[in-house]
Structure 1
């Protein structure tokens, strides 16, 4: 699994710094670092462009010290890094970026339940801005596991394409999808 599921190629229009396409999380420290709400928000924002602690604090509505702490945890876990610096008066501003476009992970450690949390978060965002909904729907299909995986891969590709759009609009939109097994019973096969 990945923070964007599997790893189809994404157009390189964003972010504004060089990064690896994928990074597979390898130890529990990386899971602890990534699967915390503020840190997930930080790495999500950094897909748009590199940012300073102050910029991230403003966007997230959190104190600079809090954001700085979370950046340090992410940096120590190898999930973000300083991608450039800039002299601002007497100080040197550090711009942070992700180490990979997609973080691959397994459903273990802090990642257990991540899909459920993601959908709960999406539902809460929709409830806060009901006029902003573009589309939401669901369908059920009785298909083999392999076909479900093919659909997931196709949706992964769309998700990465969606996320690689250049930041031109005034509104941030979300793309959320789910392909999952259900306990919904199926009609018996038609014998006619």
Structure 2
């Protein structure tokens, strides 16, 4: 009998963070179905059959995508189990967080990964219409160094979110972004005097 993992942590060992820079890794991560597969195994290791059932796709198609992720070093076999005469493989991520490192623009222009904000806008539309969406947006004039420091704090919060115990029936998404934006700003105040 399988027990349900509610800890919020995968049921296998994986690195905390992996910096990805190779075009093959970026391309593998960019495909929406493969991104979904990587998200699914963040909860627990899964077989190709389990992944296929979760995304309602043929097992052969999912096997192809899993092999692309394994070849790119983003997924690996974390354990096996003998079922009758067949060895069943359970796949997991190689790291909890995949961080895109410095990439030569000529290797990935235009970026092969999806725009998470555009994807989230589509995904959140039904929640917006049902008045079940929470969102915030702020503009702040800060230095690039301070933006990088703040982003590390945001990334830690997102990691905390992904490790929350699994105790509900409904899935929630958290999207965050930090980017330079054209936005009005106030001039420095005039000196008093």
TM-score normalised by the chain length of structure 2:
0.84
Among residues 37, 45, 49, which one is paired with 2:40 in the alignment? Answer: 45
Aligned to 1:3: none
- SS of structure 2 residue aligned to 1:143: coil
Contact 1:15 / 1:49 at 8 angstroms: preserved in 2?
yes
- SS of structure 1 residue aligned to 2:33: helix
Among residues 61, 67, 70, which one is paired with 2:62 in the alignment? Answer: 67
**1:42-191 alignment runs, 5 A limit:** 42-106=37-101, 108=103, 109=108, 112=111, 114=113, 117-130=115-128, 131=130, 133-191=132-190
Structure 1: how far apart are the matches of 2:99 and 2:111? 14
Contact 2:124 / 2:133 at 8 angstroms: preserved in 1?
no
Structure ID, larger Rg: 2
Deviation larger for 82-91 or 165-174: 82-91
Aligned to 1:5: none
Cα RMSD of the aligned pairs, angstroms, is 2.1
- SS of structure 2 residue aligned to 1:83: strand
Structure 1: how far apart are the matches of 2:139 and 2:99? 27
Count of aligned residue pairs for this structure pair: 180
- Report how far residue 132 of structure 1 moved: 7.2
- Report how far residue 134 of structure 1 moved: 4.2
Among residues 27, 44, 58, which one is paired with 1:32 in the alignment? Answer: 27
Structure 2: how far apart are the matches of 1:40 and 1:74? 10
> Which runs of 5 or more structure 2 residues have no equivalent in the other structure?
1-6
> Which runs of 5 or more structure 1 residues have no equivalent in the other structure?
1-11
Structure 2: how far apart are the matches of 1:162 and 1:26? 25
Structure of greater relative contact order (alpha carbons < 8 Å, 6+ residues apart): 1
